[in-house]
Structure 1
Amino acid sequence: MRSIAGTLAGLGAAGLLAGCATLPGLSRASGPQLTVSTAGMPGELEPVRAAAVVNDAAVFWVTSNGCTSRDDLKPMVSLLGDASVITLRRLTEDRCDTPQADGVEVMWSFDELGIRPGTTVSINNPLQLPQT
């Protein structure tokens, strides 16, 4: 399985985000940005370093202090007509003290998320730009 860095390098971030996956604040080739209210969702809204929707799976790259695992995060799926909006929430704070320079990759299949294959998906998380 390729890492998200390999996926983004292979597909090109601009082309990827203009396709099936979108992030708030980034332009989309056509159509309105799909967002949903996060009120009442568990945990905290997780800023993402990158996100991709490829091969009927949602892949996120998030910051980690060394202990973040998939079990610490929960993807919340909202349906808007024929489209789905994924909001990634952090349920458990990463209190370790070994920051991972490249963060950590987490992935869920559409089947795990209850999303039909081929569905248009939008990501409802803020983009966390690299610190300089």
Structure 2
Amino acid sequence: MAPVVKFAAAAALLSPLLAGCVIYDSTGGDEVSVRVGSQTTTAQAAPLETLRAIRFDAGAVVVRVESNGCTQVSDFAVEVVDDQTAELTFTRESPDLCKALVPDGVELRWTYEELGLASGKAALVRNPLRLP
């Protein structure tokens, strides 16, 4: 049998083994498992950013987070689930790779308008808080 024909036959026989479908249910939690043949890979979602402090001040949400000197508002995404009680989740999208000593961290500020929140709305923050 010619090498090209052998390769085509092998590819035809192996292709069903290499094909796959992944279905991800986001309501199941933060752990995702993928099984390919006898191999299973498990991935964990990144942990939520631990906040050093949070306060609601003059129409804004102010959080204090760890910093190595370069942390800024643009490094974070804020997920807002607006229900009867708004749920806020702060996620660091860009690591702070600077090497400054910032023992008290930095304060970051988002206005209610930026977050789409009405003044006086009840809010729940999903991030863990670090005790002083």
Give me the whole-angstrom Cα distance separating, in 2, the residues matched to 1:60 and 1:123: 11
**Structure 2 segments unaligned to the other structure (5+ residues):** 1-27, 31-44
Whose strand fraction is larger, Structure 1's or Structure 2's? 2
SS at match of 1:85: strand
The higher relative CO (CA closer than 8 Å, separation ≥ 6) is in: 1
Question: Which residue identity is paired with 2:112?
Answer: F
Q: Which residue of 2 aligns with 1:64?
A: 67
Give the TM-score taking structure 2 as reference length.
Answer: 0.62
Deviation at 1:55, TM superposition (A): 2.5
Give me the whole-angstrom Cα distance separating, in 2, the residues matched to 1:121 and 1:67: 28
CA RMSD of aligned residues (A): 2.4
Give me the whole-angstrom Cα distance separating, in 2, the residues matched to 1:89 and 1:38: 17
Give me the whole-angstrom Cα distance separating, in 2, the residues matched to 1:54 and 1:71: 20
Give me the whole-angstrom Cα distance separating, in 2, the residues matched to 1:121 and 1:46: 18
**Structure 1 segments unaligned to the other structure (5+ residues):** 1-36
- Give the length in aligned residue pairs: 92
Give the TM-score taking structure 1 as reference length.
Answer: 0.62
Deviation at 1:44, TM superposition (A): 5.4
Classify 1:64/1:101 alpha carbon distance in 2 versus 1 (closer, same or farther; 3 Å).
same
Larger Rg: 2
Classify 1:38/1:59 alpha carbon distance in 2 versus 1 (closer, same or farther; 3 Å).
farther
Question: Which residue identity is paired with 1:57?
Answer: A
Q: Which residue of 1 aligns with 2:123?
A: 121
How big is each residue's C-alpha offset from its partner over 1:18-75, in whole Å with a ceiling of 9 and x where there is no partner?
xxxxxxxxxxxxxxxxxxx985xx9752110000123321110000011101110111
Paired-residue identity, %: 35
